[in-house]
Structure 1
């Protein structure tokens, strides 16, 4: 099958949507499908052979964050060329309601279109206001996927229609087989995310850290991600700053090793999350998870059965839970075991099969419509001859 996938966000800026698209493309290629991904990318960005650049992205405030998107006449022309050259059996557009390549592809594409909705935003005035503009494009979509029940709810409430829920996928084996790194072990707490993006929650974790260190003085916080490291620790007492180690941007391999090494992974995100791929990655690597009680996180963690939850933006609650867990090896072992069982439903072997089933449904439907149209056309010709 020839599959075209449209990524709305800059390929060189790490994010859950980009990782999902990359891993989906890799999975489909391993199965023997022909895949091309269209994504915003700077000229100097190294790209996998299956990624086609649609040009430089620009930063735009979107869904409580700053997304790097690509939109305009030049981008539209590149989308049309990519579609014409690809002659795809199915086009899979991610975030078609965002002002980026997905919307442009919806306008330009012909044939079966599958759309995945990642955004969870229960009160998006912008999405409601944009609906008249989006409607003609959205009506061309053959099948809709939402990565969580909360992304599905956002779609239903703002844009109408419905979607099948298929979660983000993870290569569970990749994370599970990673080797721990000795220097990252020993009473370590892990955090991975953009340091300078408040909704990722690092300020909440930093606020909780003094209370954690007061009870567990040998604990360390390992932080992986880009951002201003000095600003991140500015509110910490000077004597505690050495207990925070910044690792900068890490490779996929080192991310897996980090998650394999830590005693506890903390996800203090404050909002705007529709899924929580990092939670699945952490569970895959065997890291016990402590996360804010966002609806999407609670769903991923099976309502607290596969990982513990604390009250969102409550640094005291975070600290109390972290101290309790770090002092209870049996509970940490229980969370590792439960997470390992729970995470199997997110493996690409399962998620990829579900997505392929959607592709096959829409392509089969399109083929049936085309056959009916040809039969109808022949019938009209015979009638004209009569």
Structure 2
């Protein structure tokens, strides 16, 4: 089947694929929904194996794909459910390390090709870090193709023993239209009022409240911003294990920071922001970075992982863990409207260079073809 065809060739059955998702990563979940929609539109039969809550959040069934509930666990019951779902698949495509490992277990003894996409780097310390390295090695040596969403993930897969590792074309899934019919300026004012930003600068960070996000460094930087007039408000959207620690610091140090929990209106938050902040210790194709550049919001980000390749010269990059550099970059941008305008314009150009959703689907289908089409005799 041609990657760009809309239906299976005459006399052939449609390609049957299973997408396996762990359900714990928003970027990979949105990617799978976009991929499922594009594949179904091209005549591919798609089954998405993911926890029920992931289907509720991303509506895989609404793309025309079949959804099969598979818990985010590698216990025998979950693996058996996945094995049954993959029984008639021509190809299985797993997203993320844990989903990929479950797929390896489910396909044991079968010749079904396995494609793996790494959207992020698994993180752990101590004995668990050793276990994750073993899982990575098992997965990449089993997979026919490993796709990494950044060049360092591709390099990591090759070092770990992948037979075929490639850079993934991953387009930013389109945003669902807002149901708010207010004009943009009125929406911006409404969001800023809700967040308590007043007339001062509004700085937005989005991501789980976990250690690797670097929010402790962001709070360190926020101490310096208390000296500005007006004082910028930092709003962090997300949930996670570090909420009690961050809340305590914000209260004890009287920092101009608000934790607003998980939000479904990130585009509206960005539209109201003066700057976007990305302070993680590692990122691949950060959804926040992409959304910020698309929204023409100046971005300050850590120079880690795939971020430099992703944003090019369209963001201010600072070393991870350097609160002083982060604070200084923000202060400079808030005082320099011309530099902010430069970043907005370069952000639009950089975003235009990223793969589209159609290009993402085309790349994936070409790989599926390689792995499933009969090869001509020499």
Instruction: Name the TM-score, length of structure 1 as normaliser.
Output: 0.77
Deviation of the 1:24 alpha carbon: 2.1
- Measure, in 1, the Cα distance between the counterparts of 2:375 and 2:54: 42
3-state DSSP of counterpart to 2:208:
coil
Unaligned runs of 5+ in 1: 58-69, 376-386
* Structure 2: distance between partners of 1:354 and 1:297: 22
In the alignment, the residues of structure 2 paired with residue 248 and residue 131 of structure 1 have an alpha-carbon distance, to the nearest angstrom, of 32
Q: Where does 1:1-386 land on structure 2 (aligned, <5 Å)?
A: 1-7=15-21, 9=22, 11=23, 13-41=24-52, 48-49=60-61, 50-55=66-71, 57=72, 70-84=73-87, 87-95=88-96, 100-107=101-108, 109-120=110-121, 125-129=130-134, 134=138, 138=140, 140-171=142-173, 179=184, 181-185=188-192, 187-195=201-209, 197-227=210-240, 229=243, 231-236=245-250, 240-241=254-255, 243-251=256-264, 254-271=265-282, 273-302=283-312, 305-344=313-352, 345-364=354-373, 367-368=374-375
**Displacement of 1:159 after TM fit?**
2.4
Q: What is the root-mean-square deviation of aligned Cα atoms in Å?
A: 3.3
Figure out how many residues of one structure are paired with residues of the other and give that number: 341
| Partner secondary structure for residue 290 of structure 1 | strand
Distance (whole Å) between structure 2 residues aligned to residue 113 and residue 214 of structure 1 = 55
Find the aligned partners of 1:343 and 1:309 in 2 and give their Cα distance: 17
User: Matched residues in 2 for 1:261 and 1:152: separation?
Assistant: 36
Structure 2 residue ranges without an equivalent (≥5)? 1-14, 193-198
Q: Distance in 1 between matches of 2:245 and 2:152?
A: 33
CA contact (8 A) 2:30 2:173 kept: no
Report the alpha carbon displacement of residue 317 of structure 1 after superposing the two structures with TM: 0.7
User: Which is further off, 95-104 or 211-220?
Assistant: 95-104
User: Shift of the alpha carbon at 1:165?
Assistant: 0.3
Does the 8 Å contact 2:29/2:54 carry over to 1? no
Please name the residue that 1:63 is paired with.
none
Q: In 2, Cα distance between the equivalents of 1:99 and 1:112?
A: 12
Deviation at 1:106, TM superposition (A): 4.1
TM-score, with length taken from structure 2: 0.78
